[in-house]
Amino acid sequence: MFILQNYTLAILFCIVTMLCWGSWGNTQKLAGKSWRFELFYWDYVIGIVLFSLLFGLTLGSTGESGRGFLNDILQTEPGNILNALLGGVIFNASNILLVAAMAIAGMAVAFPVGVGIALALGVIINYIFAPQGNPMWLFAGVALIVAAIIIDAVAYKNHRTSLKKVSGMGILLSISAGVLMSLFYRFVASSMVTNFEAPETGKLTPYTALFFFAIGVLISNFLFNYIIMKKPFEGEPLSFKDYKKGSLGVHLTGILGGVIWNMGMSFSILASGKAGFAISYGLGQGATLIAALWGVFVWKEFKGASKSVNQLIFFMFLFYLIGLALLVCAGA
């Protein structure tokens, strides 16, 4: 199987993760012009599963190092498969809760609270279980990135001309989403081998861990997404008949979104072999910076912003970049 050989390449893979995790939402934005999120999400999950299978049968089955994808599935212990599946279930629950929080509390509150908690807790949890890297640089970088997320929220809030009162339910959903999102990566990591080149018996290689993670997302989606289709936070209830009404282009856009997100997840897991789980996860969650870049320069979400809002945006980008640089230095 394909394995990264040095830390520099691992950092490049983490940057790809950041780009993918910060960009997949554009596909929902494109499809969302005529397509509800609940319907988009089915195609998104299909994309996640298809990419994990393709990834395993290609890069996971080439080269002389490690253990091939199909052989790895046959030798894996059930407990490790369960951990990877649980990672997928937890991720799916957190992702849907975050979307629900955005519908109730608005993006300015839900995204910074949810992703901020996920980033801070996720790095701490992964570092405790797999300590790798300089903790001083690591947590200093996390602090700056969280500060950048808060600044982004303030800028977004100040720019809006009309604000809804934030409900307690919206805040609760945001916190729940953040806590769950901080946990999913650890379950996937705990199912995996510690040495990619000489994998232990019974453990999953990165490729099979990603495959079972994707299966966990798919299985849980029949429960989680079905519930929000029947009891949506906004709009009328939906059925599978509504899903069938989508055009080929709309369905392919959703699948593309899942492929982009899982490419980021796959690169993050591969990078963890050299960078460590805490650094790999933390850099990947720098996706908020990429999403902000899309919002500012492509979708023009801050068009006509005041001078004070533009100053906040500048400091948000500055803090993010310094924070990410500290995460890189932590593992150097």
What does the alpha-carbon distance between residue 62 and residue 55 come to, in Å, rounded to a whole number?
Answer: 11
The whole-number average pLDDT for the span 283-294 is 80
How far is the CA of 180 from the CAs of 88, 174, 204, 210, in angstroms?
11, 10, 22, 18
pLDDT of 161 reads 54
What does the alpha-carbon distance between residue 196 and residue 272 come to, in Å, rounded to a whole number?
Answer: 10
Task: Give the 3-state secondary structure of residue 1.
Answer: coil
Q: Is residue 77 part of a domain?
A: yes
pLDDT of 247 reads 93
Q: Is residue 133 part of a domain?
A: yes
Q: pLDDT per residue over 104-157, tens digit each?
A: 765 556 667 777 788 889 999 999 998 989 999 999 998 998 888 788 778 877
Q: Is residue 1 part of a domain?
A: no
User: How much of the chain, in percent, has pLDDT values that exceed 70?
Assistant: 94
Task: Give the 3-state secondary structure of residue 204.
Answer: strand
Q: pLDDT per residue over 63-95, tens digit each?
A: 888 999 999 999 999 999 999 999 999 999 998
- Domain hosting 231: range is 7-331
Q: pLDDT per residue over 47-66, tens digit each?
A: 999 999 999 999 999 988 89
Q: Is residue 217 part of a domain?
A: yes
Is the Cα torsion angle 169, 171, 173, 176 positive or negative in sign?
negative
How many beta carbons lie within 10 A of that of residue 229, not counting itself?
19
Please give the model's pTM, rounded to 2 decimal places. Answer: 0.89
Q: How many domains does the chain have?
A: 1
Tokens for 89? 């279930």
Tokens for 152? 């982004």
pLDDT of 162 reads 44
Q: Is residue 279 part of a domain?
A: yes
Q: Is residue 126 part of a domain?
A: yes
Q: Is residue 2 part of a domain?
A: no
Q: Is residue 134 part of a domain?
A: yes
